[in-house]
Structure 1
Amino acid sequence: MKSITSRDNAFYKELKQLATSSQARRKAGQSLLDGVHLCQSWLDLRGAPSHCVVSDGALGNPEVAAIIARVGALHAPVTALPDALFGAISQVENGVHIVFVVASPTPSKAPALVEASVLLDGVQDPGNVGSILRSAAASGIKQVYCSPGTAFCWSPKVLRAAMGAHFVLDIFENIDLAPLVRAADIPVLATSGYASERLYALDLRRPVAWVLGHEGQGVSSELLDLATHRVAVPHAGKVESLNVAACAAVCFFEQLRQLQA
């Protein structure tokens, strides 16, 4: 295990850039996984990280010690930082101070829509994107396609909200969604609060592609026009619409309910 004590260390400066700059993460093709749960999930599902970084104060934590042992067995580097230095690279308050540096997966060219999928059309809030990824993974969906206006899926906030869902999904970013929808071999269901079709009236016992839109503007008119169905989630009361992440969860698990019935 190496130790860094200077803020001027080149590797430490790189860590701070990865922690604070989306542009730096995209340019480097790397992300930070912050906390015990994400690090354990990466080890379980993907293997060794590029680097493991831990604070001096966390070295006595049994869960951290177990992670470091697994990382060492995989011959990946481990570096310890003083608590004061570690604080600048972690966005988790009162968390256990361990992060993995990992290569952000870059899947090959996005495949055609042939199995259960999610298309995110300008969903900008990282918490919403992470929640949608988590619900997608939990309901058995495998592929997620993101338009250029959607929050970067490998940002720290999205990673924390998804709680490891990234590691079991194929995520395709900066995708022009319209050509995918035009060429789809499965029904495409675009959610809209103004749609006449109701979710619970649809037969979802087959693969479909769900289209979810921007928090305020919803799915674009182009994708609404291209979709096989425009779908609304019925709700009672005077609330105009559901949060996009809540809408996604209702849709995904209604499909799962029908498949398992």
Structure 2
Amino acid sequence: MKTITSRDNAQYKDLKHLAGSSQARKKVGQTLLDGVHLCQAYLQLRGLPQQCVVSETALHNPEVGDIVGQLEARHGHVLALPDALYKAVSQVEHGVGVMFLIDTPERAAPAALSVSAVLLDNVQDPGNVGSILRSAAAAGITQVYCSAGTAFCWSPKVLRAAMGAHFVLEIFENVDLAPLVQGSPIATLATSGYATQRLYDVDLRQPVAWLFGHEGQGVADDLLSAARHQVVIPHLGQVESLNVAACAAVCFFEQVRQNQG
């Protein structure tokens, strides 16, 4: 275990810059997982991080102590910081005091869809993106394709909302969705409040690609027209529409229901 006590330390400065800058995270291809649950999930599903960063107080926490012990047993890198320095890095208020520095995967998107997938067209809210990833993983979906306008999946807010779903998904970012939709050998379903076909009337017992759009504008017109199905979720009450993350969860688990039925 290495300890840093100075704010002027070059490694600490790099860590703080990475924590506060989305541009820096994208440039170096790294991000931070903040909190016990995300760190435990990464250890279980992906292995050793580049580095574990822990506050001095957190070293007395049994769960954090277990994580540090696992890392040291496997010769992982652990960096201890005084509480004040750690809080200046962490983006989580009242957090436990442990984070992982990890490399963000870089994947080239396949030329065609072959398994059930999620396509996110300009979904901008990190909380919505994270919730969709979490629901997709829970429903057994393994691939997610994000347009350039969609929130960066490896940002701290998306990571916290997804609760470890990243580590069981293949996530492709900055993808041109139009060729995927137009040439898809499997059915593509776009949600739209103006559609006439109900979600519950579509056969979902085979792989499908779910297409969800911007929180306010919905799926772009060119993608909407290229989708094989445009579907609506019927709802009661005086509300205009469902939140996109709620809509996605309903869609995914209707597919689960049909396949289990």
Q: TM-score category by the smaller chain?
A: over 0.9
The residue type equivalent to 1:39 in the other structure is C
Q: Residue 187 of structure 2 aligns with which residue? A: 187
CA positional deviation for 1:14: 1.1
Aligned pairs for 1:222-237 (under 5 A) are 222-237=222-237
Q: Work out the CA distance in 1 between the residues paired with 2:103 and 2:195.
A: 41
Q: Work out the CA distance in 1 between the residues paired with 2:179 and 2:32.
A: 32
CA positional deviation for 1:238: 1.2
Q: Residue 73 of structure 2 aligns with which residue? A: 73
Q: Residue 208 of structure 1 aligns with which residue? A: 208
Q: Which runs of 5+ in 1 are unaligned?
A: none
Aligned pairs for 1:68-217 (under 5 A) are 68-217=68-217
Report the TM-score when normalising by structure 1.
0.99
Report the TM-score when normalising by structure 2.
0.99
Q: Is the 8 A contact 2:199 2:232 kept in 1?
A: yes
CA RMSD of aligned residues (A): 0.7
CA positional deviation for 1:111: 4.4
- What are the Cα deviations for residues 172-191 of structure 1, in whole angstroms up to 9, with x where unaligned? 00000000111111000000
Q: Does 1:34 align with 2:39?
A: no
Q: Work out the CA distance in 1 between the residues paired with 2:128 and 2:77.
A: 33
Provide the secondary structure at the position in 2 that maps to 1:88: helix
- What are the Cα deviations for residues 5-32 of structure 1, in whole angstroms up to 9, with x where unaligned? 1111111111111111000000010010
The residue type equivalent to 2:5 in the other structure is T
Moved over 4 A (4+): none
The residue type equivalent to 1:213 in the other structure is G
Q: Is the 8 A contact 1:110 1:172 kept in 2?
A: no
Q: Is the 8 A contact 2:109 2:175 kept in 1?
A: no
CA positional deviation for 1:254: 0.4
Q: How many residues align?
A: 261
Q: Is the 8 A contact 2:121 2:146 kept in 1?
A: yes
- What are the Cα deviations for residues 192-251 of structure 1, in whole angstroms up to 9, with x where unaligned? 011001011111111000000000000000000100000111110110000000000000
Q: Percent identity?
A: 69
The residue type equivalent to 2:14 in the other structure is E
- What are the Cα deviations for residues 118-177 of structure 1, in whole angstroms up to 9, with x where unaligned? 000000000000000000000000000000000000000000000000000000000000
Aligned pairs for 1:2-41 (under 5 A) are 2-41=2-41
Q: Work out the CA distance in 2 between the residues paired with 1:228 and 1:180.
A: 12
Provide the secondary structure at the position in 2 that maps to 1:53: strand
CA positional deviation for 1:90: 1.0
Provide the secondary structure at the position in 2 that maps to 1:150: coil
Q: Does 1:253 align with 2:253?
A: yes
Q: Work out the CA distance in 1 between the residues paired with 2:90 and 2:195.
A: 42
Provide the secondary structure at the position in 2 that maps to 1:107: coil
The residue type equivalent to 1:174 in the other structure is N
Provide the secondary structure at the position in 1 that maps to 2:89: coil
CA positional deviation for 1:47: 0.2
